Amino acid sequence: VKSKIAKLEKMEVVSQLAASISHEVRNPLTVVKGFIDLLKAPNLSQEVREQYFQHVVRELKSAETIISDYLAYAKPATEDIGIILIDREIRSIIEMTKPLANMNSVKISEELVPGITRGNIQHFKQCFLNLIKNSIEAMPNGGELSLVTLVSKFDIIIEISDNGVGMSREQINRFGEPYYSTKEKGTGLGSMVVVKTIETMNGKIKINSVLNKGTTIRITLPIYTS
């Protein structure tokens, strides 16, 4: 019964969030529609036209960010639980984020030992994608992102470290709170997905951060043994 209630509560949270996300995405789309209508007008100067286009692109980007931070939770079939080869999945996420890392002059280093856990692979990928994205975004002028895994008897530890802007006490405390973001174009949904995913996987999150020095996020997950 207890787990049934927990499941219902979780579903409620997810559906509430889905509703508010679609609301959030609708706003930029409405703005886009407005500018496209404006672009229909004859005799627009090249300069004004250019401005309208910029607004359209900006709003579409904002809708895209909202969706991409939340993608795993918006998808159906969220109950699929399977075996996750952590090192392999993290390597594939690193490959995915390389273009973004290159754009920010971020060097990625990895020290990954094999480790297996159980969970929803889609959620796992989205979770680590969001963590890696945050680290890269924390180093707009370049830096180093390191991914390390350690295996002990019962747990797998995954450490994501950057030498970026760092986090204040408030930022650390509010990590996971939906819509809390210190970024101009942030959604504050990335960390919510991280916290929910790790919670569901019976894992733990620990943040160590020093302002202007960098951040290390340590995730502990139960090891899977057959």
The footprint of ligand ADP (CB under 6 A) covers 130, 134-135, 138, 162, 164-167, 171, 175, 180-183, 186-191, 215
The residue (of 22 and 182) whose beta carbon lies closer to ligand ADP is 182
| Of 176, 161, 113, 166, the residue nearest 138 (C-alpha) | 166
Partner interacting with residue 181 (select from ligand ADP, Mg ion, none; CB below 5-8 Å by kind): ligand ADP
Question: How far apart are CB 91 and Mg ion at their closest, in Å?
Answer: 21
d(CA 38, CA 32): 10
134 touches Mg ion (CB under 5 A): yes
The residue (of 23 and 153) whose beta carbon lies closer to ligand ADP is 23
d(CA 130, CA 149): 17
- Convert residues 160-199 into a mask of x (bound to Mg ion by CB under 5 A) and - (unbound): ------------------------------x---------
Question: How far apart are CB 5 and Mg ion at their closest, in Å?
Answer: 30
At 194, list the tokens: 């991280």
Partner interacting with residue 25 (select from Mg ion, ligand ADP, none; CB below 5-8 Å by kind): none
The residue (of 59 and 137) whose beta carbon lies closer to Mg ion is 137
How are beta strands 116-119 and 82-85 bridged, if at all?
Answer: antiparallel
d(CA 59, CA 42): 23
SS (H, E, C) 105-151: CEEEEEECCCCEEEECHHHHHHHHHHHHHHHHHCCCCCEEEEEEEEE
User: Which residues contact Mg ion by CB under 5 A?
Assistant: 134, 190
